[in-house]
Amino acid sequence: RVYTKKPITQCVERTGRKPVTTRWLDINKGDDISRDYRSRLVAQEIKMDKREDLFAATPPLEAIKALFSCAVTEGRGYEKGKREEGMCLDFIDVSRAYFHAEALREVYVKLPEEDDEEGMCGLLGKSLYGTRDAAQNWNEAYTSFMVKEGFTKGQGSSCCFYQQKKDVRAVVHGDDFTLLGKKKEL
């Protein structure tokens, strides 16, 4: 459900240009001996237009350092003599993060070779790596989720969250979530 097939003529009529090209990007997550290839379909829209309205939020390094510091600080992360009952750090890496984000603008892409159909292209329903606003769409998706789960978005950084009821803090960098809280709350 990343895209739905549409006629290329619709793309040209609505956008004034051809569909954005795509390609498969293969990355070896292993090493030269134990290869572990992952393939990802990416759009090649990045260099098409210069836009000033795009923004990919990243947290300050100090936010992560603060979580680590709180975790090991007596009186904050744990009570004296009860370290094992204290707060824990949790690390979550969201797989295929951008596919969890709805496409917020009309973007048409060239179909990958194995799904190609004469005269057709794909209208994105989900964000695709390589589109200009994919990071912003992902930011909107995880922020909406976090707020729905009772977190408050940080004032100094839109990548920092706090859930007061459960006393859980979170810092998000791209698709990596770092959380601090009691084990049962995490």
d(CA 159, CA 146): 10
Q: Which two tokens stand for residue 138?
A: 């992902």
d(CA 31, CA 131): 29
Which parts of the chain are beta strand (E)? 3-7, 22-28, 37-43, 87-93, 108-109, 120-124, 152-153, 160-163, 168-173, 176-182
31-35, 82-86, 90-94, 182-186: least confidently modelled range: 82-86
Q: What is the dihedral of CA 95, 147, 128, 97, to 10 degrees?
A: -10
Tell me the pLDDT band of 52, cut-offs 50, 70 and 90.
low
Sheet holding 160-163, edge to edge: 87-93, 176-182, 168-173, 160-163, 152-153
d(CA 175, CA 129): 12
d(CA 57, CA 134): 12
> Which pLDDT value is given to residue 74?
80
Backbone torsions φ then ψ of 143, nearest 5 degrees: -65, -45
Q: For the segment 30-39, what is each residue's pLDDT rounded down to a tens digit?
A: 898 999 988 8
- Span between the terminal Cα atoms of the chain, in Å: 30
Give the count of beta carbons closer than 10 Å to the beta carbon of residue 37. Answer: 9
Give the count of beta carbons closer than 10 Å to the beta carbon of residue 134. Answer: 27
Which residues in 106-133 are b (16+ Cβ under 10 Å) and which e? ebbbbbeeeeeeeebbbbbebbbbbbbb
Q: For the segment 120-163, what is each residue's pLDDT rounded down to a tens digit?
A: 999 999 999 989 889 999 999 999 999 999 999 999 899 999 99
Q: How many CA atoms lie within 13 A of 144 on its CB side?
A: 9
Q: For the segment 94-124, what is each residue's pLDDT rounded down to a tens digit?
A: 988 999 999 999 999 999 999 999 999 999 9
